Amino acid sequence: MDIVNHWLSGASFEGESTRTAPVYNPAIGTVAREVRLASAADIDSAVAVAKAAFPGWAETSLAKRQAVIFTFRELLNERKEEVARILTAEHGKVLSDALGEVARGLEVVEFAAGIPHLMKGEYSENVSTGVDVYTTREPIGVVGIISPFNFPAMVPLWFFPLAIAAGNTVVLKPSEKDPSASIWLAELFAEAGLPHGVFNVIHGDKVAVDALLENPDVASISFVGSTPIARYIYETAASNGKRVQALGGAKNHMLVLPDADLDLAADAAVNAGFGSAGERCMAISVIVAVDTIADELVAKIAERMTGLKVGDGLRSCDMGPLITREHRDKVSGYIELAEVDGATVVVDGRGVEIDGEPNGFWLGPTLFDRVPPSSKVYIDEIFGPLLSVVRVPSFDEGIELINSSPYGNGTAIFTNDGGAARKFQREIQVGMIGINVPIPVPVAYHSFGGWKNSLFGDTKAYGSDGVRFFTREKAVTRRWLDPSHGGINLGFPENR
Ligand code: NAD
């Protein structure tokens, strides 16, 4: 059986731990390979390598760092099909979706290639007579990144290109469920000329994560995953004196007003609800329909769902399997629960016809109508192809429902009324908003992150927040002395 090793100091690394975990091909339902699970000592070895590589990399000129990022971008763009196939084989998402994931990651590499501009400080001349003040930005050291299963390439790419461009060194702990893409990316970065030890990948579970959180040489933690773990990461890393940004789970609502184009809204609901089998943190999982158009909208969504082809992502299908058998069974359990809680099951994805192997982790697209907000189907982040419709009597009650959610990652409104859209944008308590855009993931030069239980910490991922997170500022007050500056004065310096 193949084994996925760690990547340390520019080479494959086995580490001392003998623990492993299975990695499945979810479209076939069998174990494809094993992945190593690091011990705390393995993490400490990686941090030591990254710490040793830091001074040299931080001193490397902006021009040279930029050139490596640029070469990495070119290689990644040329060979994106290769990594997309790895994503499909281990995650299950269809190939076109895997390519989309890589494209969004590439955007961040392109943003990071602008690092000379992004690292520029500010300058104020003659703030006091003969005195100038300026700021510089410096890298922070060894940064830890912990990523989830659902975007095995894009989420690591949200962080490591920018961290490395800024002069930091990295230890990435990817999801153990689909670990191969991160190794492929590390090999590619080495091929682009990145010095050994700057980017390291260590696989593992809680043992590895805790070792990263405890290691005093790790300056920061960037985490993406479920809300309970994000909260734990935030609290532990912060109490150990580290910078931390911990992005958590989501329950994203799409509000459809009576004036919206219901055909376009139904298309958007299906795309955002069932793309990547609903395993996206920006997936739409709840449609909030104003009563008067709810029947028509539900009918249009259901009609579109009949055309969706579920199967192996390497064939021409719309939707692949779920990540593991356990997760599929858990998601499927919510269909029974919806019935018990009084929702109407409009489309039942159990027993869906598959273009793939029978033992894959399949569950078809499922639609519930009249879901009570008290049901766990509405409350829980399910992370599967289950779309709920909640009916509300009015626009205001739709806003109230969305604002009462403990999550605040993404939301969307579908309307042709500019005034309504503006009111929604101003009143809604969510970090990323789409106006007639169902998955409003900001481009790389803005920043990605939610509010409330969807983000712990005060900086979002990538964009200017990413630059701030991976650098720290120095403010310099400078004057060149001449004899007129002499004399004793113990008072606090004033500007004159
Ligand atoms: P997860 O929380 O189970 O795992 C995330 C990472 O934490 C993995 O690397 C995993 O190995 C590690 N981990 C798991 N259990 C741990 C523990 N007890 N202690 C320490 N570390 C632990 O998440 P997942 O199932 O891989 O990913 C899906 C979740 O990620 C969903 O909740 C989704 O909404 C969220 N997500 C959020 C965003 C965002 O930007 N807000 C983006 C992608 C995914």
Report the distance separating Cα 272 and Cα 252, nearest Å.
10
Q: Which residues are catalytic?
A: 281
Q: Is the pLDDT of residue 123 over 90?
A: yes
C-alpha 420 chain-centroid distance: 30
Average pLDDT, the chain: 98
Mutate to test the pocket of ligand 1, among 209, 244, 361 (most ligand atoms within 8 A of CB): 209
Q: What pLDDT does residue 483 have?
A: 87
Split into its structural domains, the chain has a count of 2
What's the whole-number mean pLDDT along residues 120-138? Answer: 97
Per-residue pLDDT tens over the stretch 68-109: 999 999 999 999 999 999 999 999 999 999 999 999 999 999
Q: Is the pLDDT of residue 22 over 90?
A: yes
Residue 280 and residue 161 share a domain: no
Q: What pLDDT does residue 220 have?
A: 99
Q: How many CB atoms lie within 10 A of CB 340?
A: 10
Residue 173 within any structural domain of the chain: yes
How distant, in Å, are the alpha carbons of 378, 400, 408, 425, 429 from that of 403? Answer: 14, 5, 8, 12, 6
Report the distance separating Cα 240 and Cα 218, nearest Å.
10
| Backbone torsions φ then ψ of 358, nearest 5 degrees | -65, -25
Per-residue pLDDT tens over the stretch 253-272: 999 999 999 999 999 999 99
CB 454 within 8 A of CB 429: no
What's the whole-number mean pLDDT along residues 167-193? Answer: 98
Mutate to test the pocket of ligand 1, among 154, 236, 244, 281 (most ligand atoms within 8 A of CB): 281
pLDDT-derived band at 496 (thresholds 50, 70, 90) equals confident
- Residue 453: CB within 6 Å of ligand 1? no
Residue 297 and residue 190 share a domain: no
Q: Is the pLDDT of residue 484 over 90?
A: no
What's the whole-number mean pLDDT along residues 132-144? Answer: 98
Ligand 1 atom nearest residue 146's Cα = 9
pLDDT-derived band at 183 (thresholds 50, 70, 90) equals very high
Residue 357 and residue 259 share a domain: yes
What's the whole-number mean pLDDT along residues 157-164? Answer: 99
Ligand 1 atom nearest residue 461's Cα = 40
Phi-psi region of 490 (alpha: psi -120 to 50; beta: other; left: phi over 0): alpha
Q: What pLDDT does residue 172 have?
A: 99
Q: Is the pLDDT of residue 244 over 90?
A: yes
Q: If you measure from the C-alpha of residue 229 to the centroid of ligand 1, how many angstroms do you get, rounded to a whole number?
A: 7
Residue 494 within any structural domain of the chain: no
* Residue numbers of the domain that contains 92: 3-248+454-476
Residue 244 and residue 257 share a domain: no
Q: Which CATH number goes with the domain that contains 191?
A: 3.40.605.10
- Residue 324: CB within 6 Å of ligand 1? no
CA-based radius of gyration for the chain:
25
Q: If you measure from the C-alpha of residue 426 to the centroid of ligand 1, how many angstroms do you get, rounded to a whole number?
A: 30
Residue 489 within any structural domain of the chain: no
Q: If you measure from the C-alpha of residue 95 to the centroid of ligand 1, how many angstroms do you get, rounded to a whole number?
A: 23
Per-residue pLDDT tens over the stretch 330-369: 999 999 999 999 999 999 999 899 999 999 999 999 999 9
CB 140 within 8 A of CB 243: yes
Can you give 372-408 as a three-state secondary structure string?
A: CCCCHHHHCCCCCCEEEEEEECCHHHHHHHHHCCCEE
Mutate to test the pocket of ligand 1, among 205, 330, 361 (most ligand atoms within 8 A of CB): 205
Report the distance separating Cα 439 and Cα 254, nearest Å.
10
Q: What pLDDT does residue 481 have?
A: 92
- Residue 409: CB within 6 Å of ligand 1? yes
What's the whole-number mean pLDDT along residues 278-289? Answer: 98
Residue 312 and residue 230 share a domain: no
Report the distance separating Cα 328 and Cα 363, nearest Å.
7
Closest CA to 69 of 195, 161, 200: 161
Q: What pLDDT does residue 5 have?
A: 98
Q: What pLDDT does residue 265 have?
A: 98
Q: If you measure from the C-alpha of residue 156 to the centroid of ligand 1, how many angstroms do you get, rounded to a whole number?
A: 12
Residue 140 within any structural domain of the chain: yes
Q: What pLDDT does residue 89 have?
A: 98
Residue 351 and residue 230 share a domain: no
Residue 257 and residue 244 share a domain: no
Model pTM score: 0.98
CB 202 within 8 A of CB 208: yes
Q: If you measure from the C-alpha of residue 228 to the centroid of ligand 1, how many angstroms do you get, rounded to a whole number?
A: 9
Residue 336 and residue 291 share a domain: yes
Q: Is the pLDDT of residue 49 over 90?
A: yes
The single residue listed with the structure tokens 């969807």 is 454
Residue 314 and residue 244 share a domain: no
Query: Which residues does residue 288 pair with via DSSP β-bridges, in sequence order?
Result: 255, 390
Residue 310 within any structural domain of the chain: yes
